[in-house]
Amino acid sequence: MRTTPQPELRMSPPPRRLIVVSILLFHVSGCVTWQRPNTSLVPGGYVAAEEPSEILVLTKSGERVLLRNPLVAGDSLVAGQATDTVWDDAPVALARAGVADIMIVKGDERDIEIVEVLTRGGHAVQVHRPSFGADSVTGVVPAPRAHRRGIPLADISQIRVKRVDVVYTTLMAVVGATAITMSAIAIAFWAEFN
């Protein structure tokens, strides 16, 4: 009696790259956490003594603020580098002789809020709250200014700094080593039977 040959079943290889990338991403995320600094210094004293690159400030109102390169300035913790751009109004006066055209951008003829002034040199300037004199157009132009975020020391409930979490990092190392070992066994098992 003849038997018909059965088709050979072949297993596809395990997705090695996916396994390795998953392990690395899981492992790296567990190493650093925000923790209270191990010190008896008040927040301002800690920042002045340790000069951390960034801190997470928890205020008494519950707000969480990240300050980069914090500094103590008077009675406040202040970001050492600008965090926002704030727009201030800068006064402007344009001579009528240098104006080629004026167009209302916002408002109507009775209540003009913003106009765009085209100068004879080809520059367009948006003027807010304009007024029109016999020989000039005056108003304000929004101008950018770097803004530093500051928090009064009296409003701070605690600060946190980034630190390596030893327990969690150790746990991740054990889990990662186990996963790598299991992946190696699975790859060897697959290679043995294919």
Closest to 150 (Cα-Cα) out of 72, 62, 34:
72
Q: Amino acid letter at 25?
A: L
The alpha carbon dihedral of 186, 188, 192, 194 has a sign of positive
In 8-59, DSSP assigns E strands to 32-35, 54-59
Overall average pLDDT of the 81-91 stretch: 62
Overall average pLDDT of the 95-115 stretch: 89
Domain boundaries, the chain: 16-83+149-192, 84-147
Task: Sort residue 120 into left (φ over 0), alpha (ψ -120 to 50) or beta.
Answer: alpha
Band of residue 16 on the pLDDT scale cut at 50, 70, 90: low
DSSP for 119-152, please give it: ETTS-EEEEEEEEE-SSEEEEEEEEEEEE--EEE
Q: Is the pLDDT of residue 28 over 70?
A: no
Q: What is the pLDDT of residue 3?
A: 63
Q: Amino acid letter at 97?
A: A
The tens digit of pLDDT for each residue in 110-166 reads 889 999 998 887 888 889 999 998 888 999 887 665 556 778 999 999 999 888 777
Output b/e per residue, 65-95; b: 16+ Cβ within 10 A.
bebeebbeeeebbbbbeebeeeeeeeebebe
Range with top average pLDDT, 8-12, 52-56, 167-171: 52-56
The alpha carbon dihedral of 73, 78, 81, 82 has a sign of negative
Q: Using CA atoms, how far apart are residues 106 and 42, in angstroms rounded to an integer?
A: 50
Q: Is the pLDDT of residue 177 over 60?
A: yes
Which value, in Å, is the radius of gyration of the alpha carbons in the chain? 32
Residue 7 vs residues 10, 127, 176, 190: alpha-carbon distances, Å: 9, 81, 38, 18
Q: What is the pLDDT of residue 155?
A: 92
Q: What is the pLDDT of residue 102?
A: 92
Decide: 92 and 140 in contact? Cβ < 8 Å: yes
Q: Using CA atoms, how far apart are residues 126 and 117, in angstroms rounded to an integer?
A: 6
